[in-house]
């Protein structure tokens, strides 16, 4: 393992249009450098995740509707290859490598520097997050789906099943209650976002409502406490859904209700806007036509519960394939799923193209402790 964590510097250009991010930086490092200047580039939802892994396999966050995935904002990169050479990848130099870095994972070399496009971000945004009782999910989720279908690009969101923890931070009567939270961000001024997201907060009586105005930087760490480093055991696996009709909603609700751990999350992520305006062959991330992703995020504490939790994810995931596009997100890939997982996740055409790039930059597969692409 190569520990990149000391390489975490972030520089932004005087014109405020680009950020140069070293290969071991976290999203917290990036947001700390860019937000004082009213700028951001799309990251993930948690500040402690690394820029590199998240970007190299896509990167799904709150700004995706307006600015796409993290990898869509990657302009260039400096890469140390398997031979130890330092090379530059851009639209004009090693363009095949830049294409592969936009979704193809850590297969092609060590990225020591990323160049990202920056965008203006409002000083205060609305985080809209009403939490409805889970037993009402079959009523709430179709309404959420219909709202998202006509929502402007500025809206990005997910519907998340979870359990309110027995924690003094939450009102005691809600402890242990299962909820579905419609977590939504409007990428624009908070007063506009508040108005646009209001319908999501009036779909009935929420059990709790976590909505509020905050800076983009605060928003980017709002979930951090839920994921303390090294505490929990996790097994997360995703599938892209071809649609979300009422039958699919009912099936998800029924299966998620059987989760063995109250720490587990399950989320339906909506795609649209800028994500879907990128052509399938423009990046190694591939096809963007999927409207939703289901991610099954099993979390538990006791190693004795490994089998129950991993088995639960695998069973539900397998049965949900009936409603899937057949692909999954390689940053939520499960683990030990067999050699076809990576090939299937990319699809035959993208995988074959990635294999050619792999052969050009890492013919002996030095970088193989990853979602591995075999050199052609």
Ligand X SMILES: Cc1cc2nc3c(=O)[nH]c(=O)nc-3n(C[C@H](O)[C@H](O)[C@H](O)COP(=O)(O)OP(=O)(O)OC[C@H]3O[C@@H](n4cnc5c(N)ncnc54)[C@H](O)[C@@H]3O)c2cc1C
Choose one: 49-57, 211-219, 270-278, 351-359; the region binding ligand X (CB under 6 A): 49-57
Q: How many residues does the chain have?
A: 376
CA 116 – CA 12 distance, rounded (Å): 9
Give CA angle at 18 (13, 22), nearest 5°.
Answer: 90
Residue 228 CB, nearest approach to ligand X (Å): 10
Please tell me whether residue 347 binds ligand X under the rule CB under 6 A: no
Give the contact letters, 130-169, x = binds to ligand X (CB under 6 A), - = no: ----------------------------------------
Within residues 226-255, the interface with ligand X by CB under 6 A covers 227
**Count of residues that interact with ligand X, criterion CB under 6 A:** 22
Residue 4 CB, nearest approach to ligand X (Å): 5
Residue 195 CB, nearest approach to ligand X (Å): 26
Please tell me whether residue 61 binds ligand X under the rule CB under 6 A: yes
Q: Which is nearer to ligand X, 62 or 147 (CB)?
A: 62
Please tell me whether residue 357 binds ligand X under the rule CB under 6 A: no
Choose one: 32-40, 53-61, 260-268, 341-349; the region binding ligand X (CB under 6 A): 53-61
- Comparing every residue's Cβ against ligand X, the nearest one is 53
DSSP state of 34: H
Within residues 92-121, the interface with ligand X by CB under 6 A covers 105-106, 110-111
Backbone angles phi, psi at 363, to 5 degrees: -65, -25
Please tell me whether residue 354 binds ligand X under the rule CB under 6 A: no
Residue 135 CB, nearest approach to ligand X (Å): 27
The closest alpha carbon to 26, from 189, 201, 229, 325, belongs to 229
CA 336 – CA 319 distance, rounded (Å): 18
Q: Figure out which of the listed residues 35, 41, 47, 49 binds ligand X, where binding follows CB under 6 A.
A: 49
Please tell me whether residue 4 binds ligand X under the rule CB under 6 A: yes
Residue 32 CB, nearest approach to ligand X (Å): 16
Cα distances (angstroms) measured from residue 278 to each of 34, 85, 123, 283, 355:
25, 31, 28, 8, 22
Give the contact letters, 209-228, x = binds to ligand X (CB under 6 A), - = no: ------------------x-
Q: Figure out which of the listed residues 331, 351, 353, 373 binds ligand X, where binding follows CB under 6 A.
A: 331
Strand intervals (E) in the chain: 10-12, 18-22, 39-40, 74-80, 86-89, 110-117, 119-120, 125-128, 130-133, 155-163, 178-186, 208-209, 212-214, 233-241, 265-270, 292-300
Q: Which is nearer to ligand X, 251 or 337 (CB)?
A: 337
Q: Which is nearer to ligand X, 23 or 207 (CB)?
A: 23
Please tell me whether residue 374 binds ligand X under the rule CB under 6 A: no
Strand intervals (E) in 178-259: 178-186, 208-209, 212-214, 233-241
The closest alpha carbon to 19, from 55, 65, 66, belongs to 55
99-129 in b/e form (b: 16+ CB < 10 A) is: bbbbbbbbbbbbbbbbbbbbbebbebbbbbb
Residues near ligand X, by CB under 6 A? 4, 23, 44-46, 49-50, 52-54, 56, 58-61, 105-106, 110-111, 227, 331, 370
């Amino acid at each position: 393992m190569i520990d990149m964590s000391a390489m975490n510097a972030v520089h932004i250009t005087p014109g405020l249009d680009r950020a140069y991010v070293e290969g071991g930086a976290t999203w917290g490092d990036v947001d700390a450098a860019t937000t004082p200047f009213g700028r951001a580039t799309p990251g993930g939802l948690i500040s402690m995740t690394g820029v590199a892994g998240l970007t190299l396999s896509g990167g799904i966050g709150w700004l995706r509707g307006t600015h796409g995935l993290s990898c869509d904002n990657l302009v260039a990169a400096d890469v140390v290859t398997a031979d130890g050479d330092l090379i530059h990848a851009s639209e004009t130099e090693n363009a095949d490598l830049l294409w592969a870095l936009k979704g193809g994972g850590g297969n092609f070399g060590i990225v020591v520097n990323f160049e990202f496009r920056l965008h203006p971000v409002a000083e205060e945004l609305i985080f809209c997050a009403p939490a409805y009782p889970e037993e009402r999910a079959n009523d709430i989720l179709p309404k959420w789906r219909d709202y998202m279908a006509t929502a402007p690009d500025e809206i990005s969101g997910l519907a998340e099943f979870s359990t309110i923890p027995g924690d003094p931070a939450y009102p005691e009567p809600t402890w242990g209650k299962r909820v579905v939270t419609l977590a939504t961000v409007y990428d624009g001024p908070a007063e506009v976002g508040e108005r646009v997201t209001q319908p999501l907060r009036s779909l009935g009586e929420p059990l709790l409502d976590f909505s509020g105005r905050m800076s983009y930087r605060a928003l980017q760490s709002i979930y951090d406490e839920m994921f303390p480093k090294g505490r929990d055991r996790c097994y997360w696996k995703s599938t892209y859904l071809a649609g979300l009709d009422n039958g699919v909603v009912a099936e998800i609700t029924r299966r998620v209700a059987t989760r063995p751990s109250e720490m587990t999350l399950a989320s339906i992520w909506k795609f649209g806007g800028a994500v879907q305006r990128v052509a399938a062959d423009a990046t190694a991330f591939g096809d963007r036509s999927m409207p939703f992703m289901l991610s099954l995020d099993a979390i538990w504490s006791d190693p004795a519960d490994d089998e129950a939790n991993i088995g639960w994810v695998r069973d539900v995931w397998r049965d949900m394939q009936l409603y899937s596009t057949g692909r999954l997100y390689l940053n939520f890939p499960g683990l030990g799923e067999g050699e076809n997982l990576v090939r299937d996740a990319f699809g035959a055409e993208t995988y074959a193209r990635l294999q050619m790039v792999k052969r050009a930059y890492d013919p002996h597969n030095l970088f193989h402790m990853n979602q591995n692409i075999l050199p052609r």
